[in-house]
Amino acid sequence: MASPCLSGSYGRTAFPIIFGKRKELIEEAFHGEYSIKKVEMKKKEGTWYAHFTLSREVAIPNSPQAVIGIDSGEKNFAVAVGIQKDSPNKPQRGMFWKGAEIKALKGRDQHIRRSL
């Protein structure tokens, strides 16, 4: 790694940026295809990483081929089902998220955070 350059009298330090696997997305952002919304610096095992949050506009078709319905309730945290435009009376297989499963995941994550 190159040695840092001190710039100005404020004690700022500049480091070179080495892009990883997603270099193409960052280059597209610099050319205007994506817009950079946020950059976060994270340190992992003594190495600093820049996390870029990118966004871009996506064209939405005027007549979608399928519709997805999501419902939240008391027994099931959320239920999602997909309905095809050509067969509205025959919904696709739905997904159920039970509240107990969500609580277990939150508890596991909280335990991991506490141990850090």
Strands (E), the chain: 5-7, 12-14, 35-44, 47-55, 66-71, 76-84, 95-98
Q: Which regions in the chain score pLDDT beneath 70?
A: 1-10, 74, 88
- How far apart CA 86 and CA 62 sit, in angstroms, is 16
pTM score: 0.37
Instruction: Return the pLDDT at 3.
Output: 45
Residue 1: per-residue pLDDT: 44
Alpha-carbon gap, residue 30 to 65, rounded angstroms: 34
Sign of dihedral through CA atoms 20, 55, 65, 88?
Answer: positive
The pLDDT of residue 10 is 67
pLDDT, residue 32, reads: 78
Q: Residue 9's pLDDT is what?
A: 59
Question: How many C-beta atoms lie closer than 10 Å to residue 74's C-beta?
Answer: 6
Q: Which residues contact 114 (CB under 8 A, 6 or more apart)?
A: none
